[in-house]
Structure 1
Amino acid sequence: MIEWIIARSEGDRGRVGALAGVVCISLNVLLCIAKALVGILSGSVSIVADALNNLSDASSNIVSVLGFKLASKPADPEHPYGHGRFEYLSGLVVAVLVLMIGVELVKSSIDKVLNPSPVEFSLALVVVLAGSMAVKLWMAHLNRVLGERIKSETLLATAQDSKNDVIATGAVLACAIIAYVAGIELDAWVGLAVGLYIGWSGIELIRDTVNPLLGQAPDPELVAHIRSKIMSYPGVLGTHDLMVHDYGPGRQFASAHVEMAAETDPMESHDTLDNIEQAFKDDDGLIVTLHYDPIVTNDPHVVDMRNKIDAMAKSIDGEASIHDLRCVPGPTHTNVIFDCLHPVECALSPSEFKRKLGDMVVEEYPEAVPKITVDEDYVSAEQ
């Protein structure tokens, strides 16, 4: 099935997700019908709850399919960065549906706790629930493999959800067996637990889908990869002011400043930056824009000053750093102009940090007038 989906998709990421969703919709609907029939006939609220969980999964799959379809739409004049965030929006809708179903299950289970009724045990009950667990394990495998192939958080989340369903269904089956063997009725309580479990999953899904829409910090591994790749090129002395913008899976854009020796031919430096940008596009599918920052490397005084001021910044906060330092001498004083990265978790506010660093610079260089621009850290999650 996995290879069939890959072959049918012809390399189209959106089609892989859509086909996987269609398969999961079909299986979840069948499981829902089978469990609902057994649950109603046996009078088991926990089995009915499990059936509704499958229905919520099918609803989630439908929204996911729509999300993949809409996200695959090409860019247009009104949306030059594409429509990739539809996948995040579809995930948010799914999360809300899951939460709503969880709330309803909790309400029905509480009613069953207050008004208990016996559960009728049958072979059909065991067969349906055991079969459901086997199907869900296969669905987890399907979505995990495809999710890893196309790097889809949606499919990977679906895989995890299927694994969770195996646990939930196993609990329901165990409850039915215990009631039959020992005469202990746990059905309503297990239904309540399943409802709470589904509701909590919905809350977590809402959090996970809202974060990228709000502009969460980029993956630390991606940040490290971008920096290390830039630094691997000859002539690159440093990089800073990295920003990563996420417009949906496979639609990430980045920008950064790259420090190169001012003494090097600017045309040669720009050629290096062009090569780096092209390499990111070819190797990583990442659109990167790099800004050329020439720095003086043949003036010992400037180099020493840069190192000392950077050490001053780090003495205030270990994650701070400076860049773009240049000196403009005058008859009475020297303007020392530089940017400083202000870490998000720094104990000092940007203005306090700037004031303290400026005082330290003047103490070390009495003739200096520091002109400091404070930069915010937009990739702080990697710190």
Structure 2
Amino acid sequence: MLTDRRAKVRQVLILTLILNLLVMVLKAGVGFLTGSLSLQADALHSTTDSANNILGLIANRFSSPEPDREHPYGHQKFEALGALGIAVFLGITCFEILKGASERILHGGKPATISGWELTILLLVLAINIFVALYERQVGRQLESPILIADAKHTTSDIWVTIMVLGGLVGLWLGRLWNLPQMQWLDTILAIPVALLVFHSGWEVLQDNIPWLVDKVAIAPESISETVMSVPGVLNCHDIASRGLLGRQVFIEMHLIVDAEDVETAHQITEAVEEQLLKFYSPARISIHVEPPDYQSDRLSF
């Protein structure tokens, strides 16, 4: 039986939206005060965190697990679409970061400066990011929510970005104290690996959600066959297909050859097959085409 967890997912998204907005404001404020390119890019990254939360709330609104007349297979792919939207935001962020870094390298610009109290604010920002990532990942796994897990990955990338930027700004601060002007390049140079981390995070989100959207096989047909053949009265199963997300919802189809001469016996065997499959792959919707004992086929799947 499917469970509608959208209310809990919505609560998490609202809380993380508030925290991400706070992080974005703090990073942007310190970034403009110090003139730090890498921190301004990091603030842009955090802007996408907030946008992702809003996108997640929209996707959550339409991702009911229950089918209806217009969507007989349910609405859960809306969450996967929301996760792909996150990947798009990450790609845009990556481009903006690289663009800003290349312009600074080619045309130069005013060097960044940083003070001790501004570094303290960034440490607070880092602590908030760590909390959001751990909280979203934990709840996302408990609720089996792709949108929360995808957003947690994005926020995790934000943690590493903030650590990297913070390290560069500490280098700037020490360079000013020790009169080392060459340390001013740290801010611009670190903007490039920031972009690479953002790109990697978006790639992981794509890898997690595209197979679901394109109906990649959810369960190996050999595994389904082994489960089905353990049921008494089953002679053969073939043309096996599956799609969906194992642990969330899968759809299983197959043709079944049963040792039965009447419809009632064939139905009983089919019911037993469904119970056995649900024991291993629930929640699942199963469609079985029953064939007579003299029918033959050795085609396991498509």
Instruction: Please say whether Structure 1 and Structure 2 have the same fold, judged by a TM-score greater than 0.5.
Output: yes
Give, in whole Å, the separation in 1 of the partners of 2:116 and 2:226: 60
Deviation (angstroms), 1:339: 4.7
Pick aligned residue for 2:99 from 107, 114, 127: 107
Tell me if structure 2 keeps the 8 A contact 1:243–1:254: yes
Name the CA shift for 1:17/1:279 in 2 (closer, same or farther; >3 Å). Answer: farther
Identity of aligned residues (%): 27
Q: 1:138 matched to which residue of 2?
A: 131
Q: 2:253 matched to which residue of 1?
A: 255
Give, in whole Å, the separation in 2 of the partners of 1:134 and 1:225: 44
Q: 1:340 matched to which residue of 2?
A: 299
Any gaps of 5 or more consecutive residues in structure 2? none
Give, in whole Å, the separation in 1 of the partners of 2:270 and 2:112: 70
2:267 is the counterpart of 1:274: no
Give, in whole Å, the separation in 2 of the partners of 1:33 and 1:106: 22
Name the CA shift for 1:171/1:68 in 2 (closer, same or farther; >3 Å). Answer: same
Give, in whole Å, the separation in 2 of the partners of 1:143 and 1:228: 37
Q: Compare 83-92 and 241-250 and name the one that shifted more.
A: 241-250
Give the secondary-structure state (helix, strand or coil) at the position aligned to 2:62.
Answer: helix
Give, in whole Å, the separation in 1 of the partners of 2:4 and 2:293: 44
Deviation (angstroms), 1:103: 0.7
The TM-score with structure 2 as length reference comes to 0.84
Q: 1:17 matched to which residue of 2?
A: 9
Tell me if structure 2 keeps the 8 A contact 1:53–1:101: yes
Name the CA shift for 1:260/1:249 in 2 (closer, same or farther; >3 Å). Answer: closer
1:210-234 Cα offsets, whole Å, 9 max, x none, are: 44222222255xx666445433433
Give the secondary-structure state (helix, strand or coil) at the position aligned to 1:199.
Answer: helix
Q: CA RMSD in A?
A: 2.8
2:183 is the counterpart of 1:194: no
Task: Point out the structure with max Rg over C-alpha.
Answer: 1
Give, in whole Å, the separation in 2 of the partners of 1:253 and 1:73: 13
Name the CA shift for 1:259/1:160 in 2 (closer, same or farther; >3 Å). Answer: same
Q: 1:93 matched to which residue of 2?
A: 85
Give, in whole Å, the separation in 2 of the partners of 1:20 and 1:161: 15
Higher relative contact order (CA 8 A, sep 6+): 2
* Structure 2 counterparts to residues 1-383 of structure 1, below 5 A: 12-72=4-64, 74-114=66-106, 115-182=108-175, 183=180, 184-185=183-184, 186-206=186-206, 208-220=208-220, 226-246=224-244, 250-261=248-259, 267-278=264-275, 280=277, 284-295=282-293, 324-325=295-296, 338-341=297-300, 376=302
Give, in whole Å, the separation in 1 of the partners of 2:119 and 2:70: 54
Deviation (angstroms), 1:181: 1.9
Give the secondary-structure state (helix, strand or coil) at the position aligned to 1:340.
Answer: coil
Q: Compare 99-108 and 285-294 and name the one that shifted more.
A: 285-294
Give the secondary-structure state (helix, strand or coil) at the position aligned to 2:299.
Answer: strand
Tell me if structure 1 keeps the 8 A contact 2:218–2:250: no
Give, in whole Å, the separation in 1 of the partners of 2:219 and 2:20: 32
1:25-48 Cα offsets, whole Å, 9 max, x none, are: 111110000011111111111111
Higher-strand-fraction structure? 1
Give, in whole Å, the separation in 2 of the partners of 1:148 and 1:169: 25
Residue type of the alignment partner of 1:167: W
Tell me if structure 1 keeps the 8 A contact 2:238–2:298: no
Give the secondary-structure state (helix, strand or coil) at the position aligned to 2:231.
Answer: coil
Give, in whole Å, the separation in 1 of the partners of 2:204 and 2:283: 29
Give the secondary-structure state (helix, strand or coil) at the position aligned to 1:254.
Answer: strand
Residue type of the alignment partner of 1:87: E
Name the CA shift for 1:145/1:205 in 2 (closer, same or farther; >3 Å). Answer: closer
Deviation (angstroms), 1:55: 0.8
Give, in whole Å, the separation in 1 of the partners of 2:161 and 2:103: 20
Give, in whole Å, the separation in 1 of the partners of 2:167 and 2:225: 52
Kindly tell me the number of residue pairs found equivalent between the two proteins: 291
